[in-house]
Structure 1
Amino acid sequence: MSSTLHPLATLAQIERTPSREDGIPQDLEEDLRAYGCKLVHQAGLLLRQYVFSFSVCKFLSVSENRKQVAVATAQILFHRFWFVTSMKQFGIGDIGMGALYLASKLEECPIRMRDLINVYDLLLQRDAHTAKNPNTDFKYAPMSYFGTTFYELKDALVVSEMQLLKRLGFNVHVVLPYGTLINYLRVLGLTSREDACTRAWGYLNDALQTPVYALYPVPTIAAAAILLTSRHLHIPLPSAWWELFDVVWDDVWSVCGWVMRLYRVRGDPSSSADRVLGMVGKGGVRRWLEENGHGS
């Protein structure tokens, strides 16, 4: 990984991630990354770590802003991890927990380990129930604190945090693009349009489910959010406006493609959800690889 303030994946890591080297196709890896970030996002909400929203961010206190930053930081660390490690070695559920736990410490808004484990258990139970019984109400069945499940998850959480630090070389500095976005919108005269600000802010949040924060610098990602906003709201922009921010058009267009792939229509939503849910842990990934002829 790069040692700059914006640790970016190398060309070799981009072309062949460790997971793809082990036989996981790109579309499946993207789905697993997105689902792992979705779990981090939902866990942050339930743990009152909040999630960035343009309409409320300006009214939050410093401590609340830190909580928002922790969720975004966790998602970025989660993506960086998969450029140096395969999903065959570690589960996306465990690494997501570890990333959120680590990020909450980095942003000085620590969360209790027991609460984080309980929330992840609830989310995974709910998603499994919804995938199999979409028309019935979900009822959470708490795990027993006297059984082995809780302590196994606790051990997995500790190992995940340690592996994140080790494999990222303790390079856990994250720069978020929200301040940059507001500055760019101000330069383009768009801050008076709340719909444009809110939509662009939303694209930055959605981009956290993709690897772009480990592939491109912050100005490029902020410019991509503005481009998507202008296209969907039919807002005219000056000619070659991206040159004002010293970004490359092809890179901006590429980031837009990553974000738009999140909204792509999949074949069978239920079967896709079942496949991803079955691969939250490394055991499920290894079974899938063996079934598809990639067993070691």
Structure 2
Amino acid sequence: MDLGRSNRFSRRMVYGATLAVDWTADDGEIEVQILVRGIEGIKLDAQPLTIATASILFHRFFKEADVGGYDVYLIASTTLYLAGKVKDDPLKIRDVINVTHNTLHRGSAPLELGDEYWNMRDAIVQAELLIMRMLKFEVTITHPHKFMFHYLKSLESWFSKEEWSRVPLTKTSFAFLQDFHFEPSILDYTPQHVAVACINLALQCYGMQVPYTDEAEILWYSSESLP
């Protein structure tokens, strides 16, 4: 992929494979809920940055709140709905409700406009207000994605065209990045460090050595490589 042509983060770049959930896992495990939210995002055709935003909001909320005190499925669905607003990628609340319901009850039909639907809708609306208050209305997020794009663009110039096109380094790096958003510890690192770590992991997976690193004055991951 020629990184100089576009800085858009397409779904094709990010989703190299279908996310899988271990449905035999303990329902109380928060990792299961986060993976479910990722699947909801894909079913809703949400942008990768929208799903990443939902993940960060989710982690920030439970950094302040007791996991046992809230329905994680409700919070997950609500952060996804809220993220759509934050990233100007609006998701219809009815679609969020139906995808969530179908994820929890596989094979079920869309909900009719009855009591169950309206109860879920009211719950999401109330949970949205709760999340905003818990986060003190601070929902601005600096994502690693833009840094990853520039690091990859810088890194591309270090390789020959043949070697760069030989492996899907860009796709793999972005896939690792999206997966890391399901881990609460992403809050502990700067966006730049997260981007570099994901790219470095992809390089290791493909056994790629960046040439001339011992001789270069400015490395591909240095701050000078950023615009």
TM-score, with normalisation over the residues of structure 2? 0.73
Please provide the CA RMSD for this pair: 2.6
Task: Answer yes or no: is 1:157 the counterpart of 2:124.
Answer: yes
TM-score (normalised: structure 1): 0.57
Unaligned runs of 5+ in 2: 1-25
Does residue 1:198 correspond to 2:171, yes or no?
yes
Write the letter of the residue equivalent to 1:168.
Answer: L
Q: Could you say if the C-alpha distance between residues 153 and 77 of structure 1 is closer, same or farther in structure 2, counting changes exceeding 3 Å?
A: same
Question: Structure 2 counterpart of 1:213, which letter?
Answer: I
Pick aligned residue for 1:70 from 46, 50, 53: 50
Inter-partner Cα distance in structure 2 for 1:114 and 1:120: 10
Distance 1:114 1:183 in 2: 37
Q: What residue in structure 1 maps to residue 33 of structure 2?
A: 36
SS in 2 for 1:172: coil
Equivalent-residue separation in structure 2 for 1:245 and 1:30 (angstroms):
41
In structure 2, the residue matched to 1:101 is 81
Instruction: Give the aligned partner of residue 186 of structure 1.
Output: 153
Q: Residue 68 of structure 1 aligns to which amino acid in structure 2?
A: P
User: What does residue 245 of structure 1 align with?
Assistant: 222
Residue 140 of structure 1, aligned match among 91, 108, 114: 108
Say whether the 8 Å CA contact 2:151–2:220 is kept in structure 1. Answer: no
> 1:155 corresponds to which letter in structure 2?
D
SS of the residue 2:68 aligns to: coil
Residue ranges of structure 1 left out of the alignment (5+ in a row): 1-27, 50-66, 127-138, 247-296
Q: In the alignment, which of 102, 105, 109 is matched to residue 125 of structure 1?
A: 105
Partner of 1:174: 141
Report what 1:215 is aligned to.
Answer: 188
Q: Secondary structure at the match of 1:82?
A: helix
Q: Which amino acid aligns with 1:245?
A: S
Confirm or deny: 8 A CA contact 1:212 1:221 kept in the other structure. Answer: no
Distance 1:96 1:68 in 2: 16
Identity of aligned residues (%): 25
- Residue type at the aligned position of 1:185: L
